[in-house]
Structures are given as structure tokens and as C-alpha cells.
Amino acid sequence: MKPQIISVDNHKFIAYPHLWDMGFFHVFTTGDMDMGFVTTKSYPLLKEQIAFIMDAFEMKPRGLFSGYQIHGDYIESIVTEKEGDAFPLGRMSPESDGTITNIKNITLMTKFADCMPLLFFDPIKKVQAGIHSGWKGTMLHIGPKALKKMVAQYGSNPRDIIVVIGPSIRKCHFEVEADVAIPFMEQFPHAGDKIVKVDSVKYHIDLQGLLREELLSEGIQAENILETGFCTHCEPWLHSYRRDKENFGLMAALSILI
């Protein structure tokens, strides 16, 4: 299923609106906003942009939760609205690359440029997770770990869970050398054409494909994996760390149980 690109006051957002109707509001911002403090150096600007998004989509969340995103595999469970440390946008989990909760009307925020932003939603148990899965997180299997945490902590059935894979760098441009490719081959021994040597030094890796195979093996239904399909490096209207280098910006996945 293809996502919709929604324009509001010259800003573009990516979403699957049918999930809103199921109780899961979410949007991915695009290149016309920079959602990172490290890149904007301005919390007032970030607050203004988040407020704009919530007003535009008529959302009134009580608070915002985010991980610091250290390219690891720790996922913080938000069981009260005081989890994590206070920071200017809300609450921050300093060691995590993901957050998971069953609390309604709070925002989970995941920042990304080329890394995969993953959204998990269980419409039966009413649980959501926002996960930052860069190549390091993918190698650490953070996506399947989020799924297992939903099952263990909230009683989710993998067959019910919907996973959205947001805009991220794809196989056409995720180029690495042996120091990265070989550990990937060790972690994903059945990768097949998802890890391809393109010359004497370089390899291309299909991060989305590797994740998809893992999710299927854990019981996620194929029709419940929604892949936006946009390559951040290819699309000039999206931020890309690899393409833009020191001029890169960050996008955000914002999600709320409603």
C-alpha cells in the first residue's frame, strides 16, 4: 500500500491516513522542516514546528517522548508520563533508540535522515512503538526486539501488529565496505541478494529487505508491513545525511494513540 503525501501550508507530510481511522495518528515530516536540535540549534524552532503539526492535524497531545538515539538497541517503555528526563520538548530517554507505550494522547518522536524510522501499532491491544533503526540498530535487530517487547510486555499477537517503514536510504545508495558488509553477512546469513558486492571494494545493502524478512519470520503478516518506499538519498525533498553531508537536516516520525 502506498502512503499519501499531504501538503499543509507548503509543508509536506507522509502518512497512511487509514491508520488514523484505526486509532493511530502518525506523520513523517519531510525536507521542508528540520526537526533536529543538533542541526537547528533551536528548541524554540522545534517547539514551533511541532505545535504547527499538531494544530494542522487537530491533535492535542499531553506530552512528547523521545529517545536520545545512540545507534543501540535499547527500547524504553513509557509506563507513566514521567519516564525519562525532562528536556525542552518533553521527556527524553537518554540511552534509548526507541519508545513503546499503551498510553493514549502522548506523542512518540523518532528523528531520522537516512536511518529507518519504524512505527509499530497494535490495533487490538492499543500499543505503539517508535523505533530508530540505523544500520547499527538493524544489525542489532532492534526491529524484532521492539516486536518481542510488545508481545512480552503488552500481550500483543504478532499477527495483529502493523509496521510502517518510513523514508530511509535504500539499497541503491546504502554503500559500504567489507568492515560493515561482513558483520551484516554474519548477522544475516540468509541475506542473499539483499547484500551485494558491486565492485572489488563496495557492497550495497538492502536494510528494508533484511528487516522485512526478520519481521515475517517473527509472525508479522506480509500485508501488515507498510513500506513508504522513498529513498532519502534519491529524493531531493527529503533530508539525507549521506547526500548532504555537513548540510544535512533531520526529519521526524511523530505518532499518537488516539
Residue-by-residue DSSP string for 242-253: HHHGGG---EEE
Q: How sure is the predictor about 64, in pLDDT bands with cuts at 50, 70 and 90? A: very high
The CATH code of domain 4-170+206-257 reads 3.60.140.10
What pLDDT digit, counting tens, does each position of 163-182 carry? 999 999 999 999 999 999 99
Could you tell me how far CA 86 lies from the centroid of its own chain? 22
Phi, psi dihedral angles at 222 (to 5 degrees): -55, -40
- Alpha carbon distance 19, 212 (integer Å): 20
Alpha helices (runs of H) in 22-97, residue ranges in sequence order: 37-40, 43-56
Task: Tell me the whole-structure pTM to 2 decimals.
Answer: 0.98
- Interstrand relation of 11-15 and 24-29 (parallel, antiparallel or unpaired): antiparallel
| Domain residue ranges in the chain | 4-170+206-257
DSSP one-letter string for 84-111: SEEETTEEEETT-SEEEE--TT-EEEEE
Q: What's the pLDDT score for residue 143?
A: 99
The predicted pLDDT at position 52 comes to 99
Q: What is the SS3 assignment for 62?
A: coil
Give residue 100's pLDDT.
99
Of 205, 73, 70, the closest CA to residue 137 belongs to: 73
